[in-house]
Amino acid sequence: AQRVTQPEKLLSVFKGAPVELKCNYSYSGSPELFWYVQYSRQRLQLLLRHISRESIKGFTADLNKGETSFHLKKPFAQEEDSAMYYCALSTAGGTSYGKLTFGQGTILTVHP
Amino acid sequence: DAGVTQSPTHLIKTRGQQVTLRCSPKSGHDTVSWYQQALGQGPQFIFQYYEEEERQRGNFPDRFSGHQFPNYSSELNVNALLLGDSALYLCASSLVGRGEQFFGPGTRLTVL
């Protein structure tokens, strides 16, 4: 069975400070990892996925298979980054058909 | 493209009643997944439909059932409602076998 853990429920930083949201996973196969974000009064939306290895809104995340982690990082946080962030794992491929397993989420607050 | 749409937005039911929630996927998508999100929790996978069949199911009782129509839209039915079924129900669409899913705004179900 797969599991995603986000150890921090709340994270507060000041504008311009670096931010790192932690995500650890357990899965015996080869997972796809995602970060989803939910801004206030908006729907859940995809922020980035490890396969694309791109930077979105200044955020990056690297899949570390040795540490089974997929931490989300941004060097200089902005107030508009304040939101709920979910790390999610997909077991797409084989018979799994892309079920997403989510972590509990981290509320990021960026203070001015 | 309006993206994934869900109806109704809010719903209030009493214990023992039955409810039907509806979802229209993003244009071009053929797979629909349903998630339950309790307050303060990450979304929990209920089931996924592709080619009008349930392809994968999470740890939910048989009171939760679904359907997918030829136009790829989907319904989630919950029978014999319990207080604990109160949650935000999210629909997500994707292409078969792909982990990247696009979410609707959700239906807020309250069971009294």
- The SS3 of residue A28 is coil
Is the minimum CB–CB distance between B50 and chain A shorter than 8 Å?
Answer: yes
What is d(CA B67, CA A40) in angstroms, rounded to the nearest whole number? 31
More confident residue, B93 or B98: B93
In chain A, the residue whose alpha carbon lies closest to the alpha carbon of B4 is A43
- Looking at residues A77-100, what average pLDDT do you find? 84
Could you list the beta-strand ranges (E) of chain A. 3-5, 10-14, 19-21, 24-26, 32-38, 45-49, 60-61, 72-74, 83-90, 100-102, 106-111
Residue B19 — pLDDT band, cuts 50, 70, 90?
very high
Residue B84, CA distances (Å) to A81, B44, B88, B90, B94 in order: 32, 14, 12, 16, 28
What is d(CA B21, CA A67) in angstroms, rounded to the nearest whole number? 40
Mutate to test the interface with B, among A30, A99, A106 (most CBs of B within 10 A): A99
- pLDDT tens digits for range A14-64: 999 999 999 999 988 888 899 999 999 999 999 998 877 788 899 999 889
- Does the beta-carbon distance from B106 to A100 stay under 8 Å? no
Look at A22-31, A101-110, B20-29 and tell me which has the smallest mean pLDDT. A22-31
